[in-house]
Amino acid sequence: MTEAAPQAGGRRYATVAILLHWTIAALIILQVVLAGRMEGRTPEAFAVFQLHKSVGITVLLLSLLRLAWRLVNPPPPEPESLAGWEKTLSTLVHWAFYVIMIGKIEIPTLLYGAIPWPHIPGLAHLAPAAKVPWHTFGETSHELIIKGGYVLLALHVGGALKHQLFSKNEPILARMAPGAKTGRWFDPRLIAIALAVVAVVAFGRLVQPPRPHMSAGPPPPAPIAAEPAPEPAAPPAATTAAAGPAPEAAAPTTPVPWKVQPGSTLGFATSWSGDAVQGRFDKWTADILFSPDVLDGSKVSVTIDLASVKTGDEQRDSSLPSGDWFDVAEHPKATFTATKFTKTAEGRFVAHGTLSLRGVSKPLDLPFRLKITGDTATVSGVTSLDRTVFGVGQGEWKSTDQIPAKVSVSVSLKAKRSS
C-alpha cells in the first residue's frame, strides 16, 4: 500500500481572517433571511427592518476591517493545480464581494437600538425635489447589489464545494476551515458549516426584535376642575346709611399677556396596527395675548420644534424627523396662529386658527377649557387633524391601513399673567 501524496496548497488563512470570513458569511445569510420578513408597515416589520439595517452596518464595518487585514496580510497562494481561469475567477469573485459588502451601505436610525448612526452627509438637507433622484438611485442600486450578491454567493459556494467534493488535491476549503480533507462528502467541518447555516436561518426566522414602544408620551390632558361652589355669605354687618355697595373689580379692556409655565405639554395620539401611540414635543413656545372679556383683540401664536418629537421609542423618534414624516430638514418648525375666538359656554372657548406644517397651511379649530385663578390660567384642549392633508407620511406611509389619517392633538398648560 503506497502512501498518499501530500496535498498541495495546504497553507491556510490567518486566524483573524478566518474569524472575519465566517462572521461576515453568517451575517450575510442572516440579512437574506431578515429581508424576507420586512413586508408591510406593521410594528413587527419595522422592528425587523431596523435589525436588518443594523446588521448591514455591521457587515460594512467588518468588511472594511477584513479588507484592511487582507491588504496588510496577503492571503495564502492558490493551489498550483488550479487552472488559470479558476484562479482568475476566484480573484474576481473575492474582490467583487468586497465591493458588494462595502457598497451596500444602509443607514439606520440607531445601531441595534442603542448607537446613533449618521445619515449620508449632505443628503438629509437636500430639497424634496433633489432627494427624488437620490432615492431612486438608492433603491435601484440596492436591488442590483442584492441580485449581484446572490450570483457571487452562488459562485463562491459552488467553487468551494467543487474543489472540496470533486478535487482531491485542491484543498480550497481547508484554507478557511483548517483540517478539512478534500474528497470527503461528510467531512466534520463541512457538516459543521451546514449546521451553522441552518442555525443562522432558524435564528433569522425566529428572532423577534423589540417592537416600538406604543404607550409613551403624555396622556390626554385632564379636564379642568369646575369652579368650587361659593360658600354661604355671612350676614352683612350693620352699616351706616351713607355707606354704598362695595365696588366691583373692573374688567380688563385689553387682552392680557400670559407666560407659559414649565410642566405644560403639547402632545398627540394615534395608533399603529391597532396599538395606541402617544407622543409629545419637548420644545415649543407660545405667545399668548388673551382675555375672556376681550376676545376680539385676543391672539395666540404657537411655534413647535418638530425635531423635539418624542414617542418613547428611539428608533421611531429618529425616523419621525425624516422626509417620510415631518421633513425637519426642509420644514423644521410648525406653527399654529389664532386671532379669532368664540365662547361656547362658561369657561369654554374655541380658538379658530391656522396650522402650518410641512409647508402646508390649513384652518384648524381648537376647543379648550379655561380656568383663571388670580394671576394663573389653566388650559386644556383637544382637537384632531388629518395628517395626510399636511403630507405627514410619504411613500408607503401614505396608506392609512396601519396608521390612520386622523391624529388627536392635545394641549395642557399653565400660564402666569405677565406684568
Query: How much is the pLDDT for 86?
Result: 53
What mean pLDDT is reported for the chain? 76
| Percent of the chain topping pLDDT 70 | 66
Q: Which residues of 178-209 are buried (b: 16+ CB within 10 A; e: fewer)?
A: eebebeeeebebbeebeeeeeebeeebeeeeb
Using the predicted structure, report yes or no on whether residue 143 has a pLDDT greater than 70. Answer: no
Is residue 288 within 8 Å of residue 415, measured between CB atoms? Answer: yes
At residue 142, the pLDDT reads 57
pLDDT at 385 over 50: yes
pLDDT of residue 349: 96
| pLDDT(128) > 60 | no
pLDDT of residue 203: 92
pLDDT in tens, 260-295: 999 999 999 998 887 888 999 999 999 999 999 999
Please compute the mean of the pLDDT values over residues 155-178 and round it to a whole number.
72
B/e letters for 101-139, b = 16+ CB within 10 Å, e = fewer, are beebebebbbbbbeeeeeeeeeebeeebeebeeeeeebe
pLDDT number for residue 258: 95
pTM of the model: 0.56
**Range of weakest confidence among 72-86, 383-397, 400-414:** 72-86
Q: Which of 25-34, 59-68, 308-317, 404-413 has the highest mean pLDDT?
A: 404-413
Q: What pLDDT is recorded for position 5?
A: 36
Do residues 50 and 109 touch, judged by C-beta distance below 8 A? yes
Q: What does the pLDDT look like over 333-382, one tens digit per residue?
A: 999 999 999 999 999 999 999 999 999 999 999 999 999 999 999 999 99
Per-residue pLDDT at 378: 96
Take residue 256 and report the three cell numbers written for it: 392680557
The more confident residue out of 256 and 96 is 256
Residue 4: DSSP 8-state? P
Domains defined along the chain, listed by start: 15-206 (no CATH), 256-417 (2.40.128.110)
Which of 24, 213, 187, 34 has the alpha carbon at shortest distance from 113?
Answer: 213
What is residue 166's predicted lDDT score, i.e. its pLDDT? 72
